[in-house]
A and B are shown apart, each in its own frame.
Chain A
């Protein structure tokens, strides 16, 4: 504990005070108060905790803090807010793409990474991009429709 690691989170420069090996998710949720990134397995197997690090969608439960040092981290809160919604958030609401919603942050983050590299994806490309994400409620098809809808909403 107590080491200082600098990183940029949702556009703001932050200093984390934690051991270098602390999984990033604990720093985001408990030190920086960003509860939108959710812990599902702690082993990079379910996708619930994904965040963007320099544009790559990665599991924050399996990323040590040092690996995010001086990097650009974007969490679900960094995509948009109720007042300034991101197109993916608008699309997920429009498609009512969720039931319990626990998996959604990770899914939306991976969808954002996909749209950044493939602005107009096919349905198969969306499914492939989201394949690391588990959803137990069975809202997969709604999520896929939401991503395709967001792709058409270039704003």
Chain B
């Protein structure tokens, strides 16, 4: 057993957020190496077959991308740092967002060549939403084309950060040697096979002037956050290092300044100063205010004390299948979790006794006795879903429920043999618990297993994981867009369900109207007066209407945005039954629906393309061809950003198209934006397809 230290001021829960391929995993690997959590360095896509430690899933190793956000613990200069490795691809944003809820701060990693890219913008917006303070690290300064100054400008212009450089690079590209620390005014070099020895030297003569100038800028920006510092500046006194640190820290915690560090993780340069900056500038759990929702009081936000003596409030943010059963990563916001404690899952009220607790380092773990407020750990043997709140008995607080979007794309799965069938169900069970945006069900008509998610890649990754981790061989169908049906105008119905010939009769009459509803999927209102429909049959009516929703009358897509109001009806003393009213409601729905001008809605994606300006016309053309509405084009010198709204149905295979259009120089991100009515022509095509399908069944 390891003693867990409880000095909360020396705890940092950080995330490392970045664009895909900006070297985040390599950076994490180096951090773990310098903090002596691992004893050898492996590279992403390692030739030695080991791979970086954080990417614990095989698939991630192969693709060189990080999907799941494992929490890893390390120590640097008496500080405890929990690192949440956040996924870099936009298809997995639900995991990014959940991580951000758990973090207190983040390192924003940027590539010195690529700079601020569309994904960095998405991640930055999320950080803003969850109010996560950050420092920036400009990686890959050894690459040709490295230009940290340009990246700093982009941080200011594109992301609106008050970015201030804390360092000055010594040489760049192949000549990149080290950095000048503008606070201590020293040059830092990184010696040894793995850069483990930091050599401090005077600033090279050639950089001294520039370093002084930049230090002025740094002091100037920092002085906004400290009167003491401003005074020292005005009196032209020597600025004490600690004073400058404190001022910057104040600015960082309130998200008013973003200090920028630089280096090359791959070349083992600049990582230790970054760790120092994490200790120095990023907030500890006590510096950050967390809120929960009071479920007894209409979900009003409650500020959590963060005190260990108060009752427990904690969030299960990540599940993993380990060799000893389900492992639940948990962040404690208030109180503490001890072995033997009883805790309650707020979602379903189930009580659990806490068994084994541990602290995780990617694939290895360390047993501990308690997880106090502000800390991150893992529990064994507790059955729950990602995003569940656990608290002390009697507490009615839930951590802010995160926005979970509905899936926009689906795919059918057919297992190749019986064994795969069993493994597939195991895998699906796990995935749906881990990722709320991933859903699955069995289509009753075709008997196929359908999976649903947020994009093509999202589903592809799960299919791959099924094959690799669960040995489930499946064949997949063509991706299907999640269309919806809705109505556009009010329409009345008056329907009699009658079957009174032989045997037990059935009789029910339901009248009222349907109307469009904009902010909810379905609403049912009973305005029947005088007992025209006996009260006991009203729930049957609602049930009957609800039965019609999953398959719309027009093309069998789910019906959303509809309000049903019933205001009249009739019953029969003997022949009316619950069944009869359900049937009457179904008939009434069909009758009203046909008159309510039903339309088909399709998911619209927000697509952001970054491309060299030369291809701007071609890119816009390609979006236009895909029924895209171009919102805007942002010209940034050699690069431009084009933002558009494009129907998901038109986006299949777009990555290939854009690659060939721009000689591989453009990239794009895509996320769900909204549902919109499909144009008439497309609706007709869908109708045709639907008729074909019906014929073939």
Q: Does chain A bind chain B? A: no
Interface residues of A (CB under 8 A from B): none
